[in-house]
Amino acid sequence: MPPDPKGGIEMLLEAMTLEEKIGQLNLVTAELTESGPRVTAECLDAVRAGAIGSLINLWGPKLTRSVQRVAVEETRLGIPLVLAADILHGHHTIFPIPLGETAAFDAALWEQTARAAAEEAAADGLHLTFAPMLDVTRDPRWGRIAESPGEDPWIASRFARAKTRGFQGSDLTAADAVAATAKHFAAYGAVTAGREYASVDVSERSLFETYLPPFQAAVAEGVAAIMPAFVDLAGVPMSANVSLLRDVVRTRWGFDGVIVSDYAAIAELVTHGVADDIAEAAALALRAGVDIDLMGHAYTRGLATALERGRVMMEDINAAVRRVLQLKARLGLFDDPYRRGSQGGLSGARNKTRRSLALDAACRSIVLLKNRDGLLPLGAPARVALIGPLADAPCDMLGPWASAGRAEEVVSIVAGLRKALPGSEIVFAPGVEIEAEDLSSLPAALDLAHSADVVVLCLGEAASMSGEAASRARPDLPGRQGDLAAQVLGVGKPVVVLLASGRPLLVPWLIDQADAVLAIWQLGSEAGDAVGKVLSGSWNPTGRLPVSWPVDVGQIPIFYAQRVTGRPADPANHDTSKYIDLPVEPLFPFGHGLSFTRFALSHLRVRPDRLLASEELTVEVDVANEGQMAGEETVFLFLRDPVASVARPLLELKGVAKIALAPGEKGSVRFTMSSDDLAFLGPALAPRIEPGEFEILVGPSAKQETLLKATVRLSVETIVTL
């Protein structure tokens, strides 16, 4: 346990005035200007008066030190500040957006990039990040899908653990550790119709089976903070949700860290229509267990009145302040408030190790969606026409949460391709802008297409079109990019399409007509080099889709773990669960992703085939590289419980394994499962295992037809309640 403040937290609490206590619960923002963060004189005065306990958007060793010095030396009690920022996928060195990085299906990588981000953030004087974002989402209209680990709760839970470990390290007091925040609790990914900030109304079962597990995993990993989502859940805003924040998070899960509101979310309880004034909003949030008010100014403006009215007790305020002081102690701030940032920053994103990690992460995030007749890798074409508004758009490679990342430090696609194909002439034209209507530059781009051996079309979204407040009712190609693509395809040259976006883009016609298509998301600092490596063949793609890729908006929400229904889709039977105008299947299933080589899976072995509740199950499958190139295959392990007291999903992910194989080489992957993996939430939402048969399905994606299947019988006499 790190040292407490002199005399301990309790003595400090005793010594505090009500204003000072409320100050500790108040988190405000510094100013983020073009040239970086800055603090105003008013903000410094408020720190001096003890009216601010934490700040966001302030970094840099000198600046953070000078502001911290005011808190430590010029306030009555000398309590240090917590300095926070949104470090989602890198601070100076920018890694792929979380959705992209999830496509790597590699927990070790997720942890390493969080570690590297924490090192840079801490070296810049930061203590707390508002990450990882753990909202399972099945709706690409929602812009924040870019920040999320995709559609699957099992993967999101692994992501939660890896990121928490990576940010916090093994010792939160260390000079390179930052406290993590699991956000946005919970079910924000299920906003109505994908519309940002809209109401959420999911069943208790979905909540406990799908949306809460990643948060529970983060808590089990020791995450320091949780941020409730902006939204209401069936009418109860998350910032005032007693039954989830107190009963589930604090009591059931034993979470003793801080709960920090989202931006102005406490004040917005008035707008939600559950509080009639700011004092009541403050009371509702505090009573639900929200310790820190981020930019709502609700605690500073309303808590004293709420206390006078008897809507909160001093003990509620003390409990929140105690948790904030404990966070400061856990971070080692009472011991040495200047430990982070004291070595000078790691700015400039020039550090070789972190750049090479960013390149590795970017390579692993790229998903090869299609490769007709093995067009890729490109070999050595004489002339490549690189066309499209995203080909030279470094800023848009950074994604929506780029922290201190700078466009000047990003390798653009055009630069990366020139480096990767030194023997080819790369000619470039944007053709159109990302969003504008102007078509005047299109003819020049078509001329280039005519003159080339192969065309690489780099299309997609601006960074600002995903992330917060970036819902798109039609998540397809914005502006006139569709016209550009159609005309370039009309030229008749082989076409590779790079889709640079924060979400699956719904352009089935383009994917159908192009020869090769890659999802390159927003890959960060090393975007261009990673794309260059894939197109030239020096990296054989390994990325897999962490979300089902819909054919059309009408299929949303779409995810692999659907239930079978009483009338499963049957093309020969009209009265079954399907559309009359669209397929039921996504364009690409969860887990889809091609390689330049070919793998075959065979000989699924599951042992034993009759299992006692206490036993382990071993699942093994052979994998052969049948192509001409070394590569890495990803193998997914799914479970299906065909008969249970509650209808179970068609598939539930229970494991992911990777295997690297030389051409012609054979190997096998092995998973172990315990009977706990066969458990589910029974009719009363209590976990239990029911006897009977289970199907074990193993394959390269969630596409049913590609899965190998074995059956195992669980021989328990009765239901086992866990």
Active site residues: 262
Under the binding rule (CB under 6 A), the answer on residue 521 touching ligand BGC is no
At its nearest, how many Å lie between ligand BGC and the CB of residue 294? Answer: 6
Residues paired with 237 in a beta bridge: 232
At its nearest, how many Å lie between ligand BGC and the CB of residue 135? Answer: 10
Q: Mask 626-655, x = binds ligand BGC (CB under 6 A)?
A: ------------------------------
> Which residues are CB-contacts of 204 (< 8 A; sequence separation ≥ 6)?
685
Separation between Cα atoms, residue 517 and residue 532, nearest integer Å: 14
Name the residue nearer to ligand BGC (CB basis): 56 or 520: 56
State which of residues 196, 291, 468, 633 lies at the interface with ligand BGC (CB under 6 A). Answer: 468
Name the residue nearer to ligand BGC (CB basis): 106 or 291: 291
- Cβ(569)–Cβ(576) below 8 Å: yes
Look-up: residue for tokens 């040495």? 336
DSSP-assigned letter for residue 479: T
Question: Taking CA 681 as the corner, what is the angle to CA 678 and CA 686, rounded to the nearest 5 degrees?
Answer: 120
- Asked if omega into 475 is within 30° of 0 (cis), the reply is no
At its nearest, how many Å lie between ligand BGC and the CB of residue 657? Answer: 32
Separation between Cα atoms, residue 172 and residue 134, nearest integer Å: 21
At its nearest, how many Å lie between ligand BGC and the CB of residue 436? Answer: 28
Longest Cα separation, the chain: 78
Name the residue nearer to ligand BGC (CB basis): 83 or 434: 83
In this chain, which residue has its C-beta nearest to ligand BGC? 130
- Cβ(692)–Cβ(654) below 8 Å: no
**594, amino acid identity:** L
**344, amino acid identity:** G
At its nearest, how many Å lie between ligand BGC and the CB of residue 36? Answer: 16
Under the binding rule (CB under 6 A), the answer on residue 263 touching ligand BGC is yes
3-state secondary structure of 589: coil
Separation between Cα atoms, residue 182 and residue 205, nearest integer Å: 21
Name the residue nearer to ligand BGC (CB basis): 85 or 270: 85
Separation between Cα atoms, residue 212 and residue 197, nearest integer Å: 19
Q: Mask 218-257, x = binds ligand BGC (CB under 6 A)?
A: ----------------------------------------
Name the residue nearer to ligand BGC (CB basis): 130 or 539: 130
Name the residue nearer to ligand BGC (CB basis): 214 or 655: 214
Look-up: residue for tokens 């079910």? 187
Under the binding rule (CB under 6 A), the answer on residue 196 touching ligand BGC is no
The per-residue DSSP string of 344-391 comes to ---GGG--HHHHHHHHHHHHHH-EEEEEGGG--S----SEEEEESTTT
Name the residue nearer to ligand BGC (CB basis): 183 or 272: 183
C-alpha radius of gyration, the chain, whole number:
26
At its nearest, how many Å lie between ligand BGC and the CB of residue 423? Answer: 45
At its nearest, how many Å lie between ligand BGC and the CB of residue 102? Answer: 17
Separation between Cα atoms, residue 147 and residue 135, nearest integer Å: 8
- Count the neighbouring beta carbons within 10 Å of the beta carbon of residue 315: 8
Look-up: residue for tokens 């007709």? 372
Name the residue nearer to ligand BGC (CB basis): 86 or 101: 86
Query: If binding means CB under 6 A, how many residues of this protein chain bind ligand BGC?
Result: 7
Look-up: residue for tokens 């070296």? 123
Name the residue nearer to ligand BGC (CB basis): 95 or 590: 95
State which of residues 20, 86, 119, 652 lies at the interface with ligand BGC (CB under 6 A). Answer: 86
Name the residue nearer to ligand BGC (CB basis): 130 or 521: 130
Under the binding rule (CB under 6 A), the answer on residue 262 touching ligand BGC is yes
> Which residues are CB-contacts of 580 (< 8 A; sequence separation ≥ 6)?
none
At its nearest, how many Å lie between ligand BGC and the CB of residue 188? Answer: 9
3-state secondary structure of 653: strand
- Cβ(475)–Cβ(141) below 8 Å: yes
Separation in Å, CA 575 to CA 231, 566, 579, 580 = 37, 11, 10, 10
Under the binding rule (CB under 6 A), the answer on residue 142 touching ligand BGC is no
Q: Where are the alpha helices (DSSP H) in 457-603?
A: 481-491, 508-513, 527-536
Q: Interaction with ligand BGC in 3-32: which residues (CB under 6 A)?
A: none
Q: Mask 35-64, x = binds ligand BGC (CB under 6 A)?
A: ---------------------x--------
Separation between Cα atoms, residue 503 and residue 476, nearest integer Å: 10
Q: Interaction with ligand BGC in 392-421: which residues (CB under 6 A)?
A: none
At its nearest, how many Å lie between ligand BGC and the CB of residue 181? Answer: 7
- Cβ(123)–Cβ(116) below 8 Å: no
Q: Interaction with ligand BGC in 556-575: which residues (CB under 6 A)?
A: none
Q: Interaction with ligand BGC in 169-188: which residues (CB under 6 A)?
A: 183
At its nearest, how many Å lie between ligand BGC and the CB of residue 262? Answer: 5
- Cβ(558)–Cβ(548) below 8 Å: yes
Under the binding rule (CB under 6 A), the answer on residue 130 touching ligand BGC is yes
- Count the neighbouring beta carbons within 10 Å of the beta carbon of residue 649: 19
Q: Interaction with ligand BGC in 331-360: which residues (CB under 6 A)?
A: none
Residues that bind ligand BGC (CB under 6 A): 56, 86, 130, 183, 262-263, 468
